[in-house]
Amino acid sequence: MFCIKCGEELKDGYCPKCKEKREMATLIVSRTGNAFGVVVDLNFEIDGVKYNILPGKTLTIPLIPGEHVFSYSIEVIGKREVNIKMADGETYLLKLDFFDLIYSKPKFILQEK
């Protein structure tokens, strides 16, 4: 893991160059809804790392603070990408619904501490 300010490698979350502790950010991905009553798994990527989630399931993904690229592909719409910027210690909720992904962009909701 690397510091988002200077690029130095972190040691136990601490940046030796900036002399600051960096807390991980968290993305909670919740999958809701089915497509036409059929259980369809959904594949997505965060910064090129592939994930898969079924309806009714939740994934908790720790991320280094900074900007990330969330992308997904559905046959009828092709590939879409959304950028998200996360700060130290922030937690975002992303509810994935099959139809919302087709007709609108995913919404990242900042969770209160």
Q: Calculate the CA 98 to chain-centre distance.
A: 16
Give the chain's domains with CATH numbers. 24-110 (2.60.40)
- 103's enclosing H/E stretch is helix 98-103
Judge whether 29 and 54 are in contact, CB under 8 Å.
no
pLDDT tens, the chain, 113 aa long = 677 678 788 777 788 898 877 788 999 999 876 666 666 678 899 999 999 888 889 999 988 888 899 998 876 777 889 999 998 889 999 988 777 777 777 888 888 76
CA separation, residue 40 to residues 37, 47, 104, 111 (Å) = 9, 23, 19, 27
- With a CB cutoff of 8 Å and minimum separation 6, the contacts of 12 are none
CA distance 58 to 81: 21
pLDDT of residue 107: 82
